[in-house]
Structure 1
């Protein structure tokens, strides 16, 4: 771990964020590749995977993002240490809210008549891809912001937290890749196209990661706001997208257990490594 931290410190936050988010994208691709070996997936498995994803994102939002945001705020804004975290969290939520309202997309377990955003005649596959892309923007942004924060603060704990967050996002991206590719396959899309769209859904993460790192580096006073912004964006995705998708069948208990497992795994990673 120390050697990895030293390497990432030497190459700088932008390249670190790029490497970390490329890793999270590649794990998504690995999960999507399971479509070559399985033709169908039981709905309970999909719900458990989505629940796990939500648990990881909620735990990461607090331990990896909100807690460091409040810690930084206590130094920069000692009289109102709660303000940057609160404002950033609200702005992050509103950012995804407006993207959700204006970007045409369709959640995994929803029918074609339940598409959201602006009305369009786009194919269902495209709408599914856009939904997962919206989901992945906050994840890449969170990793990039945290690597940028580690550089600004110079603290080893933030760099460890950034690495831990990348690992956690990567872990939850594996089932997510499978959860994206398999429904496409079930709707008649070929294995290669299902895999392609499954991995493509996470290609936005390296872009968001680099932008997040650059923004924090050049706008240092917004650091605590940026950390909370990423947290707010992730929580919005969980509540608006991930949880509703797991509650549309009879396997709600399975999805809740998946959520709890994801939360515990990310909590352990963050406390043990961060």
Structure 2
């Protein structure tokens, strides 16, 4: 339980770490943003395909794994249809703070719930090191997200300190959802393989639907591609080392 709390806390607070530079400067180049997003995508793909799915398949039939992956994908699809997707980089900066910024914060917060579930489910598996790896992967994804949220809030005339605080709090929901995921699968052990597959589906949806398109949208596709491969290899190395 202590490992779960520590891992989920560090993963969630990575959002605040990503937002921290906003206290010192207001912009980041598209090139470095795309490289960071692509590196994160590689990390998450490797975590899903070399950790979550193999662990699920070692404890459940193939059809259960398929069902879990598809359920995770469908869950994120429904969530996206309920909460409108907002491109933080291309949103107008002269709109009302109390409506648009609130929608941004709500969308990002809800988006973090399945990520926290992924961490909690991973810690409840038979491989305790798996939880740390997934928390690490989710944390890397949270860092650029925190920066973009904080940057948007500053463009909405929010003070730097308040923008940093609000961006950090969007990740805090992951701690609660990680605890829920852990206890749910710990009590009902048969849900662990399904939960791992669900987490893999959710992560792959985020990568293909969000991270890869955003990292290729500003003319830096080649740099992003190499960064993606590097992230993939780094995570595979971590899986081999800790596995």
Structure 2-normalised TM-score? 0.88
Unmatched segments (≥5 aa) in structure 1: 1-11, 74-80, 113-120, 151-157
Cα displacement string for residues 155-197 of structure 1 (whole angstroms, at most 9, x for unaligned residues)? xxx1112222223333443344324323443454331232123
Contact 1:50 1:176 in 2 (8 A): no
Q: Structure 1 residues 127, 53: CA separation in 2 closer, same or farther (over 3 Å shift)?
A: farther
| CA positional deviation for 1:253 | 2.1
CA distance in 2, matches of 1:54, 1:31: 16
Aligned counterparts of 1:189 and 1:49: Cα–Cα separation in 2: 25
Name the structure 2 match of 1:239: 208
> Quick one: which of 64, 81, 89 aligns to 2:69?
89
Q: CA deviation at 1:248?
A: 2.3
Q: Residues 40 and 182 of structure 1 are in contact (CA less than 8 Å); yes or no, is this contact kept in structure 2?
A: yes
In 2, distance between residues paired with 1:179 and 1:227?
29
**Which residue of the partner structure matches residue 116 of structure 1?**
none
Is the counterpart of residue 140 in structure 1 residue 109 in structure 2? no
Question: Over residues 66-106 of structure 1, what are the superposed CA-to-partner deviations in whole Å (9 max), with x where a residue is unaligned?
Answer: 11000111xxxxxxx21111010001111111111112341
1:99 and 2:79 are equivalent in the alignment: yes
Contact 2:89 2:148 in 1 (8 A): no
Question: Using the alignment, how far apart are the partners of 1:130 and 1:241 within structure 2?
Answer: 17
Q: Deviations over 1:118-170 (max 9, x none)?
A: xxx963323333343344333211110011123xxxxxxx1112222223333
Q: Quick one: distance in 1 between partners of 2:199 and 2:104? A: 23
Aligned to 2:48: 61
SS at 1:203 equivalent: helix
Question: What residue in structure 2 maps to residue 255 of structure 1?
Answer: 224
Q: In 1, are the aligned partners of 2:40 and 2:137 still within 8 Å (CA)? A: no
Q: What are the ranges of 5 or more consecutive residues in structure 2 without an aligned counterpart?
A: none
- Alpha-carbon RMSD across the aligned residues, in angstroms, is 2.2
Query: Given the superposition, is the C-alpha separation of residues 64 and 136 from structure 1 closer, same or farther in structure 2, using an over 3 Å criterion?
Result: farther
How far does the alpha carbon of each residue in 1:47-84 deviate from its partner, in whole angstroms, 9 at most, with x for none?
Answer: 112112211111111122111000111xxxxxxx2111
SS of 1:108's equivalent in the other structure is coil
Q: TM-score, normalised by structure 1?
A: 0.79
In 1: Cα distance, 2:187 partner to 2:54 partner: 22
SS state at 1:149 partner: coil
Q: CA deviation at 1:252?
A: 2.2
Q: How many residues align?
A: 239
